Structure 1
Amino acid sequence: MSTVEDFFAEHDDWPWHPPHPGRATFHYLILVTEGELFHDVDHVTRTVARGQWLWVRPGHVQCWHPPGTARGPFILFEPDVLTSEIARLLAPLTAHEAPAVLSPHPDDAAWLRQTALQLLDEHRALGRRPLDVHHALRRSLLESLLLRLANSPDLTPTGAAAGNTGRGDTYARFVDSLELHFRELHRAADYARLLGCSVRTLSRATRDATGRRVREVIDERRLLEARRLLGDADWDARAVAVHLGFGDPANFGRFFRSRTGLTPAAFAAREAKTGR
């Protein structure tokens, strides 16, 4: 754990060697207490204002912008630090589609800021108390902070989904299955079969949760992976097409262009040129 300002101080070679996009393998959690932070998450620039939190989950592609005025605690932790019970309670926060920028409820903001600062203090207190107590305190503070963040307005269910836990559970299980199988399964019927429900039930749950059709959610996940591979991993269009289950690279090209306005090659060239 550190602070945003310390992180940038340790990478003081700006602007001569700007970072390139990279896929996160840790959880990145930043509270902006002063100034404003700009950060790319999956090739979209996010603006994090004072009092907001940036959340980058493992698997997301991120890119740092040049240092600006942002200050605040910077929490970095591995995926397996959370117990299974805490992970279950934090599902809205750790879901792949959860917002990258969180705006806590005003009643929670001061508490969250204080807890983050206590966590930073405990991290810097190595040697002050027995090691097992030190680790237990850090875990407890982190879990408390995340549980409170999970109830941010950005993540609170609204509308029909809030009043129907059954449909909400169906959609949550669909998202989990999609993350595992989006490369080879591309139809609503495929996921309904996996979940043991009807296509109609899955469609209603997805519509309640997102306002979109099942196929749209599937296609958006495939498109996100295509953007990541073309922009970060330097795969060519043919390799991405095969990886995402397109039988014909030309079909992948049409799929990608219809949703981004660019061919896969043009997108890759743009990302390589901008370094982001």
Structure 2
Amino acid sequence: MVSTGSSPAPPFGTASPVTDEIATFALADLSRDPGWRQPVIVEQELLILTTRGHGDAELDFHLLPCRPGTLLRVRPGQVLRCVGPQFDATVVSWEPEALRGFDIDADAPVTWRQLAGEDEDAVITEVSQLAVDCQRHPDSRTARALLRHQLAVLLLRLALASADRSEPRPEEETFHRFCREVEHGYPRTRRVEDYALGLRCSVRTLTRACLAVTGRSAKQIIDERVALQAGRLLAATDQPIAEIGRQLGFTEPTNFGRFFTREVGVSPGAFRAARLQPAAGRVVRPRPPAEPTGANGGRFRPGALGEPANGGHSGRPGSPAGPARGTGRA
């Protein structure tokens, strides 16, 4: 349990003698800036459990309220900033190799969840024990096995709590396959035809699946993912705007500027300037775990400063979803 402010933290969870394959540490350790003036790009799989106090976590431009029992699932590549009043949290991080050999869907836990009752008690107990064991045991084969099994139990418990017991429709399966392909391919191509070829289906099939699940076309899904990545890099790095555009496949800065303005509603420069202003501390209620056809069709919009942005496409709905130069990374 660790603090974003100056209050003392309990002795466990601040360092780990065991290999960083699995670790627990301070929430404040995710940012070099105690004030979190700039978001950081997360580089590991994370669970963040709020244990005391109240505050906000801005994850991929969604402002999520945090209080005791709030659990955040943060994925590599997302941008995170913690704002508002002081609150304490335990962070669990792991590398994908830690779950090798376990039949676990690490993406099952939703992005934001307010735990309560027996679920909260069980998760707090397991996270606390994991933090204690990270601190107590020197690196060894036995210690690594213990931590891997503890992490597996924690993720399985969260997966059970988040499980959707209904059978997925064929359109949903096609849509999620498409999302996985987009996640790997968006820096290289924004053509629906390329993804259809890789998935061995027609453009019409992809578009029909996307419309059925999200109300948006396949091309919109791709463009929203590109715009989300652009927003991440603009907010959390000091890379020149033209360089960000080149990374995302735009040979001309003007083309990138027009694309971003069309998708987000403001220019890349204006978006970056707004994100560097001090963040508002007002708690904003997030949307509940949403169907993919959520408000505004899930389009990525930055929103007013301090308001929850309507974040872009992510691989999994559920939120109220080469090293860069000068980047803030966790």
TM-score bracket for the superposition, by shorter chain length? 0.7 to 0.9
Instruction: Give 1:42 shift.
Output: 2.4
Instruction: Give 1:145 shift.
Output: 0.8
Instruction: Give 1:66 shift.
Output: 5.8
The secondary structure found in structure 2 opposite 1:117 is helix
Tell me whether 1:193 sits opposite 2:197 in the alignment.
yes
Is the Cα contact below 8 Å between 2:60 and 2:79 reproduced in 1? Answer: yes
Mapped to 2, the partners of 1:8 and 1:232 lie a distance apart of 17
Instruction: Give 1:193 shift.
Output: 1.0
2:164 corresponds to? 156
1:73 corresponds to? 90
Tell me whether 1:125 sits opposite 2:136 in the alignment.
yes
Is the Cα contact below 8 Å between 1:103 and 1:152 reproduced in 2? Answer: no
Instruction: Give 1:4 shift.
Output: 4.3
- Return the structure number with greater helix share: 1
Is the Cα contact below 8 Å between 2:40 and 2:80 reproduced in 1? Answer: yes
Instruction: Give 1:19 shift.
Output: 5.1
Q: Give the one of 21, 24, 27 matched to 2:45.
A: 27
Q: Give the one of 179, 183, 189 matched to 2:183.
A: 179
Instruction: Give 1:204 shift.
Output: 3.5
1:271 corresponds to? 275
Tell me whether 1:108 sits opposite 2:114 in the alignment.
no
TM (norm. structure 2) is 0.67
Matching residue's letter, 2:144: H
Q: How does 1:57-72 map to 2 (within 5 A)?
A: 57-65=75-83, 68=86, 70-72=87-89
* Higher mean displacement: 102-111 or 2-11: 2-11
The secondary structure found in structure 2 opposite 1:230 is helix
The secondary structure found in structure 2 opposite 1:46 is strand
The secondary structure found in structure 2 opposite 1:150 is helix
Tell me whether 1:140 sits opposite 2:149 in the alignment.
yes
> What is the Cα-based RMSD across aligned positions, in Å?
3.2
The secondary structure found in structure 2 opposite 1:76 is strand
The secondary structure found in structure 2 opposite 1:74 is strand
Mapped to 2, the partners of 1:84 and 1:165 lie a distance apart of 28
Is the Cα contact below 8 Å between 1:37 and 1:48 reproduced in 2? Answer: yes
Q: Give the one of 64, 69, 87 matched to 1:46.
A: 64
Is there any run of 5+ residues in structure 1 with no aligned partner, and where?
94-98
Mapped to 1, the partners of 2:167 and 2:36 lie a distance apart of 47
The secondary structure found in structure 1 opposite 2:136 is coil
Mapped to 2, the partners of 1:24 and 1:8 lie a distance apart of 12
Q: Give the one of 227, 232, 248 matched to 1:228.
A: 232
Mapped to 2, the partners of 1:216 and 1:84 lie a distance apart of 36
TM (norm. structure 1) is 0.78
Instruction: Give 1:195 shift.
Output: 0.5
1:58/1:235 Cα in 2 relative to 1: closer, same or farther (>3 Å)? same
The secondary structure found in structure 2 opposite 1:33 is strand
Instruction: Give 1:126 shift.
Output: 1.6
Instruction: Give 1:234 shift.
Output: 2.0
Mapped to 1, the partners of 2:89 and 2:252 lie a distance apart of 48
Q: Which has the higher contact order (CA 8 A, sep 6+)?
A: 2
Is the Cα contact below 8 Å between 2:40 and 2:79 reproduced in 1? Answer: yes
